[in-house]
């Protein structure tokens, strides 16, 4: 799989989540203020009412284990700070590096994906250690500004 294919796959996932969030807001959040919308996207509510929004709901797992499930705002899925268009080749091992955090969160890290035969291994930015975009307060402010 070439760089463009990998980037397209991530972009397609982001587009799907963005559309799903927009549909949920349109269908279920009419008349809500931004804080109410952010609270609507809390993990327990989303897991109960929108089972297909996230594949982890069926497993009763959360993507960011450093935050309690009842405080995890799933509106932050596909973080607005994730730079999906960023990629470069590392100087040390010539592996592809994909994605980055636009705000430099210390909660993220690069995961090394081993060579699977179709390509050299690569590293992709993993945000699972970051909780910045998953609080009701952050999302309320984000919705207000956007």
- What pLDDT tens digit does each residue of the chain (146 aa) get? 566 777 788 889 889 999 999 999 999 999 999 999 999 999 999 999 999 999 999 999 999 888 999 999 999 998 889 998 888 877 776 678 888 999 999 999 998 887 665 556 788 899 889 999 999 999 999 999 98
**Structural contact between residues 88 and 109, judged by C-beta atoms closer than 8 angstroms:** no
112 DSSP β-pair partners: 123
Q: How far is CA 36 from CA 41, 55, 127, 137, in A?
A: 9, 24, 25, 11
Q: What's residue 114's pLDDT?
A: 74
Cα end-to-end distance, the chain, whole Å: 34
If one counts the domains in the chain, the total is 1
Q: What's residue 5's pLDDT?
A: 79
Q: What's residue 130's pLDDT?
A: 92
Element (H, E) at 89: strand 87-89
C-alpha to C-alpha distance for 6 and 116, rounded to whole angstroms: 14
> Angle at Cα 80 formed by Cα 75 and Cα 85, nearest 5°?
135
Q: Please, is 58 exposed, middle or buried when counting C-beta atoms within 10 Å of its C-beta (0-12, 13-18, 19+)? A: exposed
Which residue range forms the structural domain that includes residue 34? 3-145
C-alpha to C-alpha distance for 104 and 120, rounded to whole angstroms: 26
């Amino acid at each position: 799989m070439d760089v463009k294919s990998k980037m397209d796959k991530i972009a397609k996932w982001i587009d799907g989540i963005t559309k799903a969030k927009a549909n949920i807001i349109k269908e279920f959040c009419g008349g809500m203020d931004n804080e109410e919308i952010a609270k609507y996207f809390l993990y327990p509510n989303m897991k109960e009412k929108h089972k297909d929004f996230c594949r982890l709901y069926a497993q009763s797992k959360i993507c960011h284990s450093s935050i309690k499930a009842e405080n995890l705002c799933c509106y932050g899925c596909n973080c607005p700070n994730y730079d999906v268009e960023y990629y470069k080749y590392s100087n040390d091992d010539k592996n592809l590096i994909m994605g980055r955090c636009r705000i430099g969160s210390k909660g993220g890290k690069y995961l090394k994906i081993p060579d699977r035969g179709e390509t050299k291994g690569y590293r992709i930015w993993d945000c699972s250690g970051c909780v910045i975009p998953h609080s009701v307060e952050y999302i309320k402010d984000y919705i207000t500004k956007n």
